[in-house]
Amino acid sequence: MPRDKRYDILFEPVKIGPITTKNRFYQVPHCNGMGHRYPKAMAAMRGMKAAGGWGVVCTEECEIHPSSDISPAIEMRLWDDSDIPTHRLMTDAVHDNGGLAGIQLVHNGANVPNYYSRMPPLAPSDMATTYVHPLQARAMDKQDIRDFRRWHRDAALRAKNAGYDIVYVYAGHNMTLLMHYLLSRYNKRTDEYGGSLENRVRLVREILEDTKEAVGDTCAVAFRFAVDELMGQDGMRWNVEGKEIVEMLSDLPDLWDVNISGWENDSLPSRFGAEGSQEEYIRFVKQATNKPVVGVGRFTSPDTMVSQVKRGVLDLIGAARPSIADPFLPNKIAEGRQDEIRECIGCNICVSGDFTSTPLRCTQNPTMAEEYRKGWHPELIAKRGSDSSVLVVGGGPAGLEATLALSKRGYEVTLAEAYTELGGRVLLESRMPGLAEWKRVADHRTYMIGQAANVETFVDSRLDAEQVLEFGFDHVLLATGASWRADGVGRSIVHPLVETATTKLVSADHILRGGAVTGRVVVFDDEHYYMGSVIAERLRDQGHEVTLVTPSTMAAEWSENTMEQHRIQQRLLQKGVDMICTHSIVKLDEGSVSLACEYTGFQRRIAADTVIPVTMRIPDTSVHQALMAHSDAFADNGILSVSRIADCHAPGTIAMAVYAGHQYARELDTEVPDIPFIREG
């Protein structure tokens, strides 16, 4: 299909200093949990982006010196020449696939604990580290500043030697040494590097000049700068110091990469912000410089991208999360296949890899970080291993993904869904406050399956074991999901709760399906991700008095890994949801519940008419158990295998469900080793 002419502007080359991009698609630096520890996996992932049409593909942050050791997080390192071969893996992969490679050099200053290097952290002035560590950063003297400039220059030269086309100077996200120099709340110096804004910008200017002098003949020098911190007068503001800094340095870098800080604002979850949400803060930059500008906004719509360029907001369309969800996004637009884009849902499950020091994952793209380990390509898949037919029971995220991937392999697939609409848990959860964009998981797969001639889909078709046996499919895949427990059993509660005449137990599924409740509500969250908070928010919006009780010290504790926790708790409090942390439910009383402190065991009672436990889910194994009870009849009915996956096997996240569906499709009719991936290190 030919490209829509409206999108031609996205494929124009852009000159950046001594280099020129082939198009306007720019994968900005982003973490991935592989870095120096799993370099082959990291390189394969970046190379895949270039193969998918991204004109520029950048690293994550790359430490320039051991005094910027961010362990246990896994990033890149360029401490000395011994690190160059790791970088060559990436630059070769990107270049071989037609892209330009960029490196984000960084010194994290007071943002690091240096657990591995055991060096004291550095800062403009004596200060506490910006993350919670039991140590402080020491004030840099003039020799430290000279050393830092040398370290950065040496790293830039190594980057050039490693084959990079773009070298970054990085002052953003409130976690870099250069950003700390810019901010008066951290920089308390009284010499030429402190005090006035001009003085606080001095080191940034020197680093930019050093980098251009060292590598600017062949490499473009980019400056990544957070123009606003959303902190009001206590922080960087785009229309005050942010604007002044851009004007001071205007044409010094070859490229401005602009965003907002901190990282939780820059990678804003869809629950709290829409596509293009940074525009109001960054749009001034192009009017203040003659150099090209790149920025981000979780862009997935080509129409929005074109608008950004035509209205003079950006020259290059920056992306981190959208390039993870669909590495082939540019090629799909180029080939007139924009309807096939796997749009980022903004759930930030990808970000959790950085916080857990593991390879990143993606809800939309199950092949992410499996390009090297398993040889998975996001668009290509091996042809079927037989002429077998497959029945998929369950049209939730796992069943949809399995159906789609099986159809791409060439299998004849029948998908049976018990309800009247495909989507399963995604459909239900996307109706909750802030989660509307999560429906993209179902929408993309439903659309793609609808284009496949080898798939038959039946909704409102709840199957039992007898029917499955009668159909006689070669392979049966059960993706029948799970249901939330209503009795409170989970991590903290071992024995089932018992409701009373006036205080009722209601399952989370009842709320997800639009059911009503009465009176004062207690939501007991022992799952610690998003579900407890969205239920509390929904019921509060409906006018109920709501108390969220959790054994944790905070609401939605695990969502710290997706950078949502602070906003979740803030929103609940602003809406008037009462919150009781470090407590579990002991029992239900008449019109109340008894709670016990996790630390002391001391009990208290609070009023409650309805209790909604969000603790754990029960896999729906009814069809599987009934089938296995008749396994002796499989051969007579032509059944070669019966499998169950995802939530009906081991409940988890939507990302886990999508991955399980994809894995089943990849592995059908293949030999799978005991360790089903290539190990590094």
Alpha carbons 590 and 585: distance in angstroms, whole number: 14
Marked catalytic residue, from 26, 164, 168, 170: 170
CB 530 within 8 Å of CB 496: no
Q: Is the dihedral of CA 378, 380, 386, 387 positive or negative?
A: positive
- Residue 661, classed as helix, strand or coil, is helix
Beta-bridged to residue 614, according to DSSP, are: 525
Alpha carbons 660 and 398: distance in angstroms, whole number: 6
Identify whether 336 is preceded by a cis peptide bond (ω within 30 of 0): no
648 counts as catalytic: no
Other residues' Cβ atoms within 10 Å of the Cβ of residue 157 = 17
Rounded (5°) CA angle 291-295-297: 160
Burial track 225-244 (b if 16+ CB lie within 10 A, e otherwise) = bbbbbeeeeebbbbeebbbe
Marked catalytic residue, from 165, 257, 266, 474: 266
Residue whose C-alpha is closest to residue 181's, from 111, 231, 232: 111
164 counts as catalytic: no
Marked catalytic residue, from 30, 31, 180, 648: 31
CB 672 within 8 Å of CB 30: no
- Residue 177, classed as helix, strand or coil, is helix
DSSP class per residue in 325-381: H-TTHHHHHHTT-GGG--------TTTHHHHHTS----SS-TTTT-TTTT---SS--
Residue whose C-alpha is closest to residue 405's, from 367, 361, 460, 461: 367
CB 312 within 8 Å of CB 284: no
What Cα–Cα distance (Å) separates residue 468 from each residue in 12, 484, 598, 622, 627?
Answer: 54, 26, 47, 13, 8
Q: Distance from CA of residue 148 to its chain's centroid? A: 32
Alpha carbons 344 and 341: distance in angstroms, whole number: 9
Q: Is the dihedral of CA 166, 171, 176, 181 positive or negative?
A: positive
Beta-bridged to residue 457, according to DSSP, are: 415
Name the strand (E) or helix (H) holding 155: helix 142-161
Question: 337 phi and psi, to 5 degrees?
Answer: -115, 35
Tokens 């999508």 identify what position? 658
131 counts as catalytic: no
475 counts as catalytic: no
**Which amino acid makes up residue 437?**
E
Q: Where are the alpha helices (DSSP H) in 440-564?
A: 440-450, 465-471, 508-512, 531-541
Alpha carbons 369 and 534: distance in angstroms, whole number: 30
Alpha carbons 332 and 338: distance in angstroms, whole number: 5
Q: Distance from CA of residue 182 to its chain's centroid? A: 28
In the structure encoding, which two tokens stand for residue 480, read together? 């029948």
Ramachandran region of residue 648, left (φ > 0), alpha (ψ -120 to 50) or beta? Answer: alpha
**371: Cβ contacts below 8 Å, ≥ 6 apart:** 41, 44, 45, 47, 48, 377
Alpha carbons 119 and 421: distance in angstroms, whole number: 57
**Catalytic machinery residues:** 31, 170, 173, 266
